[in-house]
Amino acid sequence: MNKPDIPPHYFIQRKAKKLIKEGRDIILLSVGDPDINTDKRIIDAMYKAALDGHTHYGNIRGIPELRESIADTLNNELNISITSENIILLPGSKTSIFLLTTALLNKDSKIIVMTPTWGVYLYLLDRFHYKYKKLKLKFENNWRPSQEDIEFLKKEDFDSIIIINPSNPTGKVLPKEDIEAVTDIAREKDAYIFADEIYYNLIYDDKPFYSFLNTGYEKAVGIYSFSKAYAMTGFRIGWIVANQEIINQLSKVMTLLFTNVPDFIQYAALKALSLKDIVEKNREIFKNRTRMMESGLMQLGFKFHRVEGAFYIFIKTPENYRDSFQFANDLLDKAGVAVAPGTAFGDYPNYFRVVTSVSEDKIDRAINRISSYLNK
Amino acid sequence: MNKPDIPPHYFIQRKAKKLIKEGRDIILLSVGDPDINTDKRIIDAMYKAALDGHTHYGNIRGIPELRESIADTLNNELNISITSENIILLPGSKTSIFLLTTALLNKDSKIIVMTPTWGVYLYLLDRFHYKYKKLKLKFENNWRPSQEDIEFLKKEDFDSIIIINPSNPTGKVLPKEDIEAVTDIAREKDAYIFADEIYYNLIYDDKPFYSFLNTGYEKAVGIYSFSKAYAMTGFRIGWIVANQEIINQLSKVMTLLFTNVPDFIQYAALKALSLKDIVEKNREIFKNRTRMMESGLMQLGFKFHRVEGAFYIFIKTPENYRDSFQFANDLLDKAGVAVAPGTAFGDYPNYFRVVTSVSEDKIDRAINRISSYLNK
């Protein structure tokens, strides 16, 4: 089968949904949408806010109470010192790279994307005709930038660099020394760092997370979301942390495109921030599921690095397959399991990604199906 | 005072909000956000949907039930025949022109904007570096395209034309013959018509509304919203009607930027569509308020055309003022009434816009204040 003309990740995803519609029992390990319902206290807060009349146009950047609460939370958890003026709410963190590139860069800007990365960012840069180069991290280096990668960055002329940490799709959490090394180079070049840190509170070791915001670099921008840790994917709410001048530029674009995140959704998010137990509970759930998936995959002989954060595993395709698209397509057809081919995350044709946020039962069945398929 | 370096409309708006924060009693006739709370039945439907687990990633185009209900509603109200495949939901109709231009045009495309128009569309085209020309309608022609305007269009080479009808800011509803004349020219040039018809169900005469969708032209695109007629501005939900190929192109951009409108908001909108009494009630309210505002302004000697739909009046600036920015700024400072200068809607320095969707009490007080101010 030839490569589809749409991104392979979407091809598999659509095919999987089509099969489900046709009545096939498909296990989706392809979408990072936690198999957990939103806490009722969050939904109740949204309802109350809507009844209280928070159903009108709102502040472009978000309601002050939520921005203050986010600032407090991040200051506390990351040991930084930001204020509500450093924050803008977004209709999902997906919007972030579009807003940032639109507000701060132009079509001649030079962008580096550290890969493997969330495919949407690559498709977005392609779609809007930006020039970018990939900094291709390797399995052999445990998905960290090597000395060679650092040298490459030093030589490159770039205006901004896009990094996801903790990583989707690898589950790697970069250590402080890597964050500092990259930041030093960016600082020298006066380049923006667009750091997608949406999984910062889903880390499974005791090591404290070192954020790009911890570097104190004024052009470091942090991207965050309520989607994953709070199981609020469908609320479409995320935020950006940046210096005030950047936030000003972002609001000018926001006002042309979306007005604001619905105020009642912001009140739901405000409630979520006050419920520390949710993140802890969900982190424990995701950790257990991730370990369970790792264990199953390891027994089947798959090669990957242990997940440190987020809920994805980036796995080497079995050697008898030409590439991971072929593997993913076969796995879907013959085993009823949907995974994402590695090309969705950059130039990784021999890797595929599984999502580990699905239920224990699904993980169990998925492993069994993959096992049967491989041993046929 | 010199012109501000931000759009004059925003300048007045921000200054008004600043004055309100400082404790001044300001009447905002500058924002089209109805002074009506969202019907509780709509909010209840949203709450129920969220409790039912509609809190996950959803269909990019929107839930099928809502798209089907929208299709039924429009088929019934506009006498057309569309299906759910002709619809994509948006996080507010504000997003429409951005999505349409991104998906269907390129930077060399030639765009015509019929003015006066909603300023956001002009700022958006500027911000994203599109080439466009304004087709400037005139007060003397009752805000309809004149024979000269039609000749201009025929001679122009263009790929798309942006039209708001019923008009924000003039309240004009174009008759069938104008819609047909413009469509004939677009058809000849194979150009898209981007028709913002968000006020189609807020028309105050018995004349049936003639939509661009009624022309049957395959490149006519309709833009709609739940914001105004249903008093749901803060829900951020609108939609586009177009042929399937266009909808396909739009979903490809949507998926890169927003995923989807929250499903629970879509269920709220689905409920709204079933409550025909709301639109009728709100239409009656807006009509009465509009007539009240017209009557007050007429007594003060202002010149404008009677509003046929929507809830705006576009008014000639009193002759002793250099321009409407000066007038708006003075009116805000000295009378505590915020209006939008005409330059926010195109090249109309000698007009200003008032919103008529505010409460009767505010209209009454605004008229009194303007009266005192003028007679000083």
pLDDT category, A254, cuts 50, 70, 90? very high
Q: Residue type at B350?
A: N
Q: Is A344 on the interface with B (CB under 8 A)?
A: no
Select the residue of B54, B56, B98 nearest A33 (Cβ to Cβ).
B56
Same-domain check for residues B23 and B85? no
Return the closest-CA partner of residue A113 out of A134, A139, A138.
A134
Q: For residue A102, is pLDDT > 60? A: yes
Return the closest-CA partner of residue B197 out of B179, B218, B219, B217.
B179
Same-domain check for residues B62 and B211? yes
**A131-136 vs A160-164, strand pairing mode:** unpaired
Q: For residue A3, is pLDDT > 80? A: no
Chain B residue closest in CA terms to A232: B55
Q: Is B21 on the interface with A (CB under 8 A)?
A: no
Select the residue of B38, B58, B255 nearest A55 (Cβ to Cβ).
B38
Same-domain check for residues A251 and A282? no
Evaluate whether residue B352 is within a structural domain.
yes
Of B224, B250, B274, which closes a domain? B274
Residue ranges making up the domain that contains A287: 8-30+278-374
Asked whether the beta carbons of residue B57 and residue A258 sit closer than 8 angstroms, the reply is no
Contacts of A11 in chain B (CB under 8 A): none
Q: Is B51 on the interface with A (CB under 8 A)?
A: yes
Return the closest-CA partner of residue B261 out of A51, A235, A39.
A235
Contacts of A102 in chain B (CB under 8 A): 128
- A206-210, A283-287, A299-303: least confident range: A206-210
Distance from CA of B43 to the nearest CA of A (A): 7
- B176-190, B285-299, B314-328: least confident range: B314-328
CATH number, residue A268: 3.40.640.10
Cα separations in angstroms, B163 against A125, B135, B311, B344: 30, 10, 17, 16
Of A240, A274, A308, which closes a domain? A274
Evaluate whether residue B290 is within a structural domain.
yes
Contacts of A257 in chain B (CB under 8 A): 94-95, 98, 124
Evaluate whether residue B105 is within a structural domain.
yes
Q: How far apart are CA B91 and CA B257, in angstroms?
A: 11
Q: Are B179 and B214 in contact (CB under 8 A)?
A: yes
Chain B residue closest in CA terms to A102: B128
Cβ within 8 Å of B, A 130-189: none
Q: What is the mean pLDDT of residues A17-31?
A: 93
Q: What is the mean pLDDT of residues A245-252?
A: 96
Q: Which two tokens stand for residue B342?
A: 């005409």
Evaluate whether residue A2 is within a structural domain.
no
Contacts of B50 in chain A (CB under 8 A): 38, 43, 46-47
Same-domain check for residues B22 and B162? no
Q: Residue type at A123?
A: Y
**A312-316 vs A351-355, strand pairing mode:** antiparallel
Q: What b/e string do you get for B211-250 counting C-beta neighbours within 10 Å, with b at 16 or more?
A: bbbbbebebbbbbbbbbbbbbbbbbbbbbbbbeeebbebb
pLDDT of residue A5: 57
pLDDT of residue A236: 97
Q: For residue A376, is pLDDT > 80? A: no
Q: Are A76 and A224 in contact (CB under 8 A)?
A: no
pLDDT category, B5, cuts 50, 70, 90? low
What residues does A338 pair with on adjacent strands?
Answer: A28
Q: How far apart are CA A96 and CA B313, in angstroms?
A: 37
Percent of chain B with pLDDT over 70: 98
Q: Which two tokens stand for residue B359?
A: 């409460």
Tokens 């001679």 -> residue: B155
Cα separations in angstroms, B332 against A310, A374, B16, B168: 52, 74, 7, 22
Select the residue of A128, A234, A260 nearest B263 (Cβ to Cβ).
A234
Q: For residue B224, is pLDDT > 50? A: yes
Q: Is B89 on the interface with A (CB under 8 A)?
A: no
DSSP state string for A152-188: HHHHS--SEEEEESS-TTT-----HHHHHHHHHHHHH
Same-domain check for residues A112 and A259? yes
Over chain B, what is the mean pLDDT?
95
- Phi and psi of A293, rounded to 5°? -65, -45
Q: For residue A1, is pLDDT > 60? A: no
Q: What is the mean pLDDT of residues A16-22?
A: 94
Distance from CA of B91 to the nearest CA of A (A): 7
pLDDT of residue A6: 67
Select the residue of A31, A46, A263 nearest B50 (Cβ to Cβ).
A46
Q: Are B309 and B171 in contact (CB under 8 A)?
A: yes
Q: Are A157 and A110 in contact (CB under 8 A)?
A: yes
Q: Are A262 and A232 in contact (CB under 8 A)?
A: no
pLDDT of residue A205: 87
Give how far the C-alpha of residue B114 lies from the chain's centroid of Cα atoms, to the nearest Å.
13
Cβ within 8 Å of B, A 109-128: 120, 123-124, 127-128
Evaluate whether residue A228 is within a structural domain.
yes
Q: What b/e string do you get for A23-42 counting C-beta neighbours within 10 Å, with b at 16 or more?
A: eeebbbbbbbbbbbebbeeb
pLDDT of residue B11: 86
Give how far the C-alpha of residue B266 lies from the chain's centroid of Cα atoms, to the nearest Å.
21
Evaluate whether residue A263 is within a structural domain.
yes
Cβ within 8 Å of B, A 227-256: 231-236, 252-253, 255-256
- A141-145, A233-237, B2-6, B238-242: least confident range: B2-6
Same-domain check for residues B317 and B237? no
Q: What is the mean pLDDT of residues B128-145?
A: 97
Total CB pairs under 8 A between chain A and B: 120
Asked whether the beta carbons of residue A91 and residue B91 sit closer than 8 angstroms, the reply is yes
Best mutation target, A96, A127, A237, A258, to test chain B (most B CBs within 10 A):
A258
Contacts of B37 in chain A (CB under 8 A): 53, 55
CATH number, residue A302: 3.90.1150.10
Q: What is the mean pLDDT of residues A149-175?
A: 98
pLDDT tens figures, B41-87: 999 999 999 999 999 999 999 999 999 999 999 999 999 999 999 99
Select the residue of A102, A127, A234 nearest B256 (Cβ to Cβ).
A127
Q: Is B58 on the interface with A (CB under 8 A)?
A: yes
Evaluate whether residue A1 is within a structural domain.
no
pLDDT tens figures, A181-191: 999 999 999 99
Same-domain check for residues B217 and B89? yes
DSSP state of A343: G
Percent of chain A with pLDDT over 70: 98
Tokens 């949407």 -> residue: A120
pLDDT tens figures, B340-373: 999 999 999 999 999 999 999 999 999 999 999 9
Same-domain check for residues B185 and B254? yes
Asked whether the beta carbons of residue A256 and residue B94 sit closer than 8 angstroms, the reply is yes
Same-domain check for residues B269 and B289? no
Select the residue of A91, A120, A232 nearest B55 (Cβ to Cβ).
A232
Chain B residue closest in CA terms to A56: B234
Q: What ipTM does this complex have? A: 0.95
Same-domain check for residues A82 and A163? yes
Q: Which helix (H) or strand (E) holds B94?
A: none
pLDDT category, B1, cuts 50, 70, 90? very low
Q: For residue B101, is pLDDT > 90? A: yes
Q: What is the mean pLDDT of residues A344-366?
A: 95
The dihedral built from the CA positions of residue A293, A297, A299 and A300, taken in this order, carries a sign that is positive
Select the residue of B50, B54, B259 nearest A236 (Cβ to Cβ).
B259
Distance from CA of A37 to the nearest CA of B (A): 6
Q: For residue B307, is pLDDT > 60? A: yes
Q: Are A93 and A237 in contact (CB under 8 A)?
A: no
Asked whether the beta carbons of residue A94 and residue B43 sit closer than 8 angstroms, the reply is no
Q: How far apart are CA A255 and CA A247, in angstroms?
A: 12
Q: What is the mean pLDDT of residues A24-31?
A: 93
Percent of chain B with pLDDT over 90: 91
Same-domain check for residues B209 and B124? yes
Number of domains composing chain A:
2
Evaluate whether residue B35 is within a structural domain.
no
Chain B residue closest in CA terms to A255: B120
The dihedral built from the CA positions of residue A183, A184, A190 and A191, taken in this order, carries a sign that is negative
Question: pTM here?
Answer: 0.95
Of B256, B274, B292, which closes a domain? B274
pLDDT of residue B6: 67
The sheet that has B131-136: what strands, in order across it?
B87-90, B238-241, B220-225, B192-196, B160-164, B110-115, B131-136
Contacts of B56 in chain A (CB under 8 A): 33, 233-234
Over chain A, what is the mean pLDDT?
95
Cβ within 8 Å of A, B 257-316: 257-265
Q: How far apart are CA B188 and CA B217, in angstroms?
A: 11
Same-domain check for residues A78 and A207? yes
Asked whether the beta carbons of residue A231 and residue B55 sit closer than 8 angstroms, the reply is yes
Q: Which two tokens stand for residue B329?
A: 């700024």
Cα separations in angstroms, A153 against A182, A233, A294, A316: 8, 34, 33, 26
Select the residue of A128, A235, A259 nearest B55 (Cβ to Cβ).
A235
pLDDT tens figures, A190-242: 999 999 999 999 999 888 899 999 999 999 999 999 999 999 999 999 999 99
Q: Which two tokens stand for residue B298?
A: 């007429």
Q: Which two tokens stand for residue A68?
A: 């203050």
